[in-house]
Amino acid sequence: MSSEINAAGKPFIHHHSAHCETGATTALFRDKGLEVSEPMIFGIGSGIFFGHLPFVKLVGLPVTTYRYLAGTIFRKSARRLGGKFVTQRFHNAQKGMEELRRVLKTGQIVGLTTNIYWLSYIPNRYRFQFNGHNIIILHEIENGFRVSDPVLENPVDCLTGDLERARFAKGPLQPRGFMYYPKYINLQPDFRTACLEGIKDACKAMLEIPLLFFGVRGIRYLAKRTIKSGEKMGFIEACRQLANIVRMQEEVGTGGAGFRYMYAAFLEEAAELFGSSELADLSKEMTAIGDIWREFAVVSARIIKQRDQSENTFAKAGGLMMICAGREEQLFKDLNDVVRKLKA
């Protein structure tokens, strides 16, 4: 946590967050006076999810996600908390930069969606082609902008050219200069109703999508593929794909265990809000499931590094994932039952 000055010349408290979208959304709410935690935004925004798309490739590898589609957490949490936001995309980069400067001059900080690869302040080892990294622009400086990047410990400077390139990068899910900022923030939102809506939506996504690539079905699907991957793909390709799954789980701002720990923190806050021991128990269960996901990541790393090969096998890694599928299926069924009994 560190203090900065926002576009209006007032103090802005930068918080180091686990995830960029939840961190940026939280920052915009807090800047207007609504104190809300990152896990609460994640839960209200129905962020928890799972999907594996073998036919959709990003940098040559199948897409695996532990959260819902980029941008949905912001949109759903804003709507459920009664906030009204201005959102804009641009076909022309120059117009997009001009509009950013115009809004900053009104004293408003601005959220941007960028490609993390082109943000020069990000260390090289952490850069990859991803068009969904969210940051907050605090104000303009000489030759650039002051940036509150939620995944960094302190605000940083970004050159104008680098920011423009990051905002208008090409490729899958290109941001097209996407920017967003609050027009109105409800300082007395109905957190209980927002939590119930967020939880019901998450349960539906994890349990009811009929396609085998999503929710608990998706976890089982990937578990079966992982068990057989060494035989079907060969050791090297199987390791490439396994490493990417672990990276999406642990190294892209998930808060650990593919957002499972963050969702557990949300359920703990919701339990206090409702005075519900059942939600508190489910929070503990989600933490325990997160521990199994972490064990999967450790076993996968040992497979890739060829350590203790008799013990660390693709079958073991897939088996741990299968356990997660069963535990999550029961958790979301129980969670669905609990929220039906709770009243806003």
Two tokens, residue 69:
């589609």
Indicate if 103 and 239 belong to the same structural domain: no
Give the domain-ending residue among 184, 208, 238: 184
Two tokens, residue 246:
């672990």
Indicate if 136 and 213 belong to the same structural domain: no
> What is the C-alpha separation between 89 and 174, in angstroms, rounded?
10
Q: How many domains does the chain have?
A: 2
For 88-143, the pLDDT digits (tens) are 999 999 999 999 999 999 999 999 999 999 999 998 888 888 889 999 999 999 99
Q: How many helices (H) and strands (E) does the chain have?
A: 11, 10
Indicate if 170 and 209 belong to the same structural domain: no
Sheet holding 144-148, edge to edge: 84-88, 179-184, 110-114, 133-141, 144-148, 156-159
For 316-330, the pLDDT digits (tens) are 999 999 999 999 999
- Is residue 39 assigned to a domain? no
Instruction: State the pLDDT confidence band at 201, using cuts at 50, 70 and 90.
Output: very high
Sign of CA dihedral 232, 252, 329, 292: positive
In degrees to the nearest 10, what's the CA dihedral of 288, 291, 296, 299?
-130
- Is residue 136 assigned to a domain? yes
Q: Are 40 and 273 in contact (CB under 8 A)?
A: no
Two tokens, residue 232:
């079907």
Indicate if 240 and 299 belong to the same structural domain: yes
| pLDDT value at residue 5 | 81
Indicate if 164 and 215 belong to the same structural domain: no
110: left (phi over 0), alpha (psi -120 to 50) or beta: beta
Give every CB contact of residue 141 below 8 A, 6+ residues apart in sequence: 157
- Is residue 256 assigned to a domain? yes
Give the least confident one: 15-19, 170-174, 229-233: 170-174
| pLDDT value at residue 275 | 97
Indicate if 175 and 233 belong to the same structural domain: no
Indicate if 286 and 213 belong to the same structural domain: yes
Which domain CATH number covers 110?
Answer: 3.90.70
Domain that residue 327 falls in? 191-341
Q: Are 132 and 117 in contact (CB under 8 A)?
A: no
Instruction: State the pLDDT confidence band at 21, using cuts at 50, 70 and 90.
Output: very high
pTM score? 0.95
Q: Are 319 and 222 in contact (CB under 8 A)?
A: no
Indicate if 178 and 325 belong to the same structural domain: no
